[in-house]
């Protein structure tokens, strides 16, 4: 009698593969000396334990270019967010950006999120209690003094003044529903949602450790080699993960949390390009870290083995090493997307194989996981198939594992497992007696094992694609090209994978769809720079205001009321 769990199994395998691929791509993302002048001015006042900081250009030409990206709906949503930020940090203090700030502000404005000072461990920091601080460098002190002295008559009675370490602070009274605070530090105006945040900026001004003096920060920005970036971001990895750990249902041992302190940060420069937005980033370890990265950059050719219409792909240079690093990171990461122990247990229960003993030891070569649409004219309820490929480091061991899986599929799940021939290449086919789902596995070029699940897409890769993903214009236009030595990459055609809604994938909320509809594709490349740092580039290829849409009609620019141009913060 046929068992009823065949379809859930194959779906679980396909879904698990996609989730694992997303997790690996995510992990890839988060894995010399130059002059101090490379550091943003605001970073020299931001405390070193800042959770996150972004320094944004005030160049009107760059903001005008930013307004050309996306759709009218995404631009309107972006404008609304900027207006809310301006309301929280400027309007509530009686400032208007265009009238009171723009005439004297420097070339970059820095916004930072500061965790509250606490005598307890950093992992006691609750979410929602971070201070938001804006540092506005003063390019013209005389004009700034004149403008600021005549501003805010309508809010003059809503604030009180006090002294902190010899510096005057202007803030809302104690007990006010919303707290705001400002101070003037020589060549910078500081605006905060919390008086304590202003005090911490003053402490830094008086000599406390700043973001600008964070070990490796200046060097990281220098390695990115970005000319006139639109923005520069810093993510404090140990502080951010400690915050997440304190608010996660998953508890972590203290020794695992201690390992977070070996990681220092992630810095990114953002460049506006004709077809989209490029993020160039560096992540690095602390100077005293005992951990070291293995300098392996072997992800080279998998995009050449995939057809040009591939919807999504993630690749890497050594699957076993990637898994080992992923497991190690999971021990100290409360928001890891996939629990490695749960995945190992699932494979053991479903296939009877040990992931780390039976499978990964022969998966030390380059690999890829891809989503490929069903060939035209081939009926498929799924619409797409998942293809996994890996260069085997031990083919005989790989064949033994595949034979064991064949036996499980035939004996436990009642699949028909048959030898076959596909484009003059020997393959093994799994066919469900219930119909609808199938799988194929075989070999390419002697040592590259492949497995396809779902729609019958093996014909598109065996023995090789007629037109490859790496040669497609969409892939060329959507992938960053600066990194020659790569240990991983990721690509997704957002239009065909998410925006069309033709695939059985998790649905985005209406607010999220506004922004996904503004994107054409996302490309990521990552590489190990040294035993203590890694590089990554992300290119978000966007739609453009006024260009033809899928309907053939040009999109209409937002009205002035909903445009980012109406926001003083968005129009420096």
pLDDT of 210-243, one tens digit each?
999 998 888 888 888 778 899 999 999 888 877 7
Please tell me the distance from the alpha carbon of residue 268 to that of residue 233, in angstroms, as a whole number: 5
Same structural domain, 20 and 80: no
Say if residues 122 and 239 touch (Cβ distance below 8 Å).
Answer: yes
Q: Which two tokens stand for residue 268?
A: 């990114």
Per-residue pLDDT of the chain (572 residues; tens, 9 = 90+): 444 444 334 434 443 444 444 444 434 443 333 333 478 899 999 999 999 999 999 999 999 999 999 999 999 999 999 888 888 888 877 788 888 899 999 999 999 999 876 534 444 445 456 789 999 999 988 888 887 776 555 555 578 999 999 999 988 887 777 788 889 998 999 999 888 999 999 999 999 999 999 988 888 888 887 788 999 999 998 888 777 767 666 666 666 666 666 788 999 999 999 999 999 999 998 888 888 888 888 888 899 999 999 999 999 999 999 999 888 877 767 677 788 999 999 999 999 999 999 999 999 999 999 999 988 877 667 789 999 999 999 999 999 999 999 999 999 999 999 999 999 999 999 998 776 678 999 999 989 999 999 888 999 999 999 899 999 999 999 999 888 888 999 999 999 999 987 777 778 888 999 999 999 999 999 999 888 899 999 999 999 987 665 544 444 333 333 333 333 343 44
CA atoms in the 13 A half-sphere facing the CB of 114: 29
Phi/psi region, residue 228 (left: phi>0; alpha: psi -120 to 50; beta: rest), is left
How do residues 302-333 score in pLDDT, each as one tens digit? 999 999 999 999 999 999 999 998 888 777 67
3-state secondary structure of 450: strand
Domain that holds residue 454: 6-29+308-466
Bridge-partner residues for 273, per DSSP?
A: 276
Task: Enumerate residues 6+ apart whose C-beta is below 8 A from 279.
Answer: 268, 269, 270, 537, 538, 539, 540
Please tell me the distance from the alpha carbon of residue 315 to that of residue 300, in angstroms, as a whole number: 9
Same structural domain, 21 and 59: no
How do residues 43-89 score in pLDDT, each as one tens digit? 999 999 999 999 999 999 999 999 999 999 999 999 999 888 888 88
Bridge-partner residues for 181, per DSSP?
A: 171, 192
Task: Enumerate residues 6+ apart whose C-beta is below 8 A from 35.
Answer: 218
Number of domains composing the chain: 2
- Does 289 reside within a domain? no
Please tell me the distance from the alpha carbon of residue 56 to that of residue 108, in angstroms, as a whole number: 5
Bridge-partner residues for 183, per DSSP?
A: 169, 190
Q: Which two tokens stand for residue 114?
A: 């500061």
Locate the DSSP E strands across 455-518: 488-493
Q: Which of 435, 466, 497 is the last residue of a domain?
A: 466
Same structural domain, 229 and 347: no
How much is the pLDDT for 194? 87
Same structural domain, 10 and 57: no
Same structural domain, 144 and 230: yes
- Does 570 reside within a domain? no
Please tell me the distance from the alpha carbon of residue 26 to that of residue 21, in angstroms, as a whole number: 8
Please tell me the distance from the alpha carbon of residue 254 to that of residue 332, in angstroms, as a whole number: 9
Say if residues 158 and 170 touch (Cβ distance below 8 Å).
Answer: no
Length in residues, the chain? 572
How much is the pLDDT for 344? 95
Q: Which of 218, 250, 270 is the last residue of a domain?
A: 270
**Residue corresponding to tokens 């050449």:** 304
Task: Enumerate residues 6+ apart whose C-beta is below 8 A from 97.
Answer: 86, 90, 567, 568, 569, 571, 572
- Does 280 reside within a domain? no
Q: Which two tokens stand for residue 286?
A: 């602390």
Say if residues 478 and 523 touch (Cβ distance below 8 Å).
Answer: yes
Same structural domain, 79 and 152: yes
H helix or E strand, kind and range, residue 20? helix 6-30
Task: Enumerate residues 6+ apart whose C-beta is below 8 A from 25.
Answer: 314, 488, 490, 524
- Does 494 reside within a domain? no
- Does 61 reside within a domain? yes
DSSP 338-382: S-HHHHHHHHHHHHS--IIIIIGGG--S-EEEEEEEPPTT---SS
How much is the pLDDT for 9? 43
- Does 528 reside within a domain? no
Same structural domain, 369 and 449: yes
Whether omega for the bond prior to residue 463 falls within 30 degrees of 0, making it cis, is yes
Which CA distances in Å does 133 have to 85, 96, 155, 192, 200? 11, 17, 20, 4, 10
pTM score of the predicted model: 0.85
**Residue corresponding to tokens 């048959």:** 418
How much is the pLDDT for 117? 64
Q: Please give the DSSP secondary-structure letter assigned to residue 541.
A: E
Same structural domain, 66 and 174: yes
How much is the pLDDT for 223? 82
Same structural domain, 249 and 390: no
- Does 282 reside within a domain? no
- Does 556 reside within a domain? no
As to burial, measured by CB atoms within 10 angstroms (0-12 exposed, 13-18 middle, 19+ buried), residue 372 is buried
Same structural domain, 22 and 54: no
Task: List b or e across 396-423, with b for residues whose CB sees 16 or more CB atoms inside 10 angstroms.
Answer: eebeebbeebbebbeeebbbebeeeebe
Q: Which of 427, 449, 466 is the last residue of a domain?
A: 466
Q: What is the dihedral of CA 427, 430, 431, 434, to 10 degrees?
A: -170
How much is the pLDDT for 486? 87
Same structural domain, 115 and 221: yes
Same structural domain, 14 and 57: no
């Amino acid at each position: 009698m046929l068992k009823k769990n065949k379809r859930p199994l194959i779906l679980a395998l396909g879904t698990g593969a996609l989730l694992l691929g997303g997790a690996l791509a995510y992990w890839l993302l988060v894995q010399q000396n130059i002059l101090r002048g490379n550091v943003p001015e605001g970073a020299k006042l931001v405390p070193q334990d800042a959770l996150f900081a972004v320094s944004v250009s005030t160049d009107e030409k760059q903001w005008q270019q930013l307004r050309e990206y996306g759709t009218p709906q995404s631009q309107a949503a972006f404008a609304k967010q900027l207006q809310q930020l301006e309301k929280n940090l400027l309007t509530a203090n009686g400032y208007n950006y265009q009238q009171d700030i723009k005439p004297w502000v420097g070339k970059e404005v820095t916004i930072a999120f500061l965790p509250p000072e606490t005598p307890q461990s950093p992992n006691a920091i609750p979410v929602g209690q971070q201070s938001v601080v804006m540092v506005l460098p003063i390019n013209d002190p005389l004009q700034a003094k004149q403008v600021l002295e005549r501003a805010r008559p309508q809010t003059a009675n809503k604030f009180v003044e006090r002294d902190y370490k010899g510096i005057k602070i202007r803030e809302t009274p104690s007990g006010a529903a919303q707290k705001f605070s400002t101070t003037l530090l020589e060549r910078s105006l500081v605006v905060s949602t919390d008086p304590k945040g202003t005090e911490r900026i003053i402490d830094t001004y008086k000599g406390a450790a700043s973001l600008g003096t964070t070990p490796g920060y200046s060097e990281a920005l220098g390695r990115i080699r970005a000319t006139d970036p639109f923005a520069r971001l810093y993510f404090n990895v140990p502080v951010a993960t400690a915050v997440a750990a304190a608010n996660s249902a998953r508890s972590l041992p203290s020794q695992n949390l201690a390992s977070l302190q070996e990681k220092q940060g992630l810095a990114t420069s953002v460049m506006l390009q004709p077809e989209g937005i490029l993020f160039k980033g560096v992540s690095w370890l602390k100077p005293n870290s005992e951990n070291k990265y293995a300098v392996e950059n072997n992800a080279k050719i998998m995009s050449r083995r995939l057809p040009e219409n591939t919807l999504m792909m993630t690749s890497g240079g050594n699957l076993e090493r990637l898994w080992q690093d992923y497991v190690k990171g999971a021990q100290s990461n409360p928001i890891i997307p996939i629990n490695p122990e749960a995945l190992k247990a699932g494979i053991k229960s479903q296939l009877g194989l040990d992931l780390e003993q039976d499978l990964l030891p022969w998966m030390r070569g380059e690999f890829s996981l891809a989503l490929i649409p069903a060939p035209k004219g081939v009926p498929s309820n799924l619409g797409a198939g998942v293809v996994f490929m890996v260069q085997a480091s031990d083919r005989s061991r790989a064949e033994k594992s595949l034979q064991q899986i064949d036996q499980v599929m035939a004996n436990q799940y009642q699949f028909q497992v048959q030898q076959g021939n596909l484009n003059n290449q020997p393959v093994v086919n799994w066919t469900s007696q219930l119909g609808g789902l199938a799988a194929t596995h075989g070999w390419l070029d002697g040592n590259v094992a492949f497995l396809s699940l779902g729609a019958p897409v093996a014909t598109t890769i065996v023995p090789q694609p007629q037109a490859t993903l790496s040669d497609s214009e969409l892939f060329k236009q959507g992938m960053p090209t600066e990194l020659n030595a790569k240990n991983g990459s990721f690509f997704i055609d957002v239009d065909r994978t998410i925006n069309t809604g033709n695939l059985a994938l998790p649905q985005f909320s209406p607010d999220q769809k506004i922004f996904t509809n503004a994107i054409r594709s996302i490309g990521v490349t990552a590489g190990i720079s040294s035993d203590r740092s890694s590089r990554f580039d992300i290119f978000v290829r966007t739609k453009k205001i006024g260009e033809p849409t899928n309907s053939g009609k040009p999109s209409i620019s937002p009205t002035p009321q909903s445009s980012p141009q109406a926001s003083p913060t968005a129009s420096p």
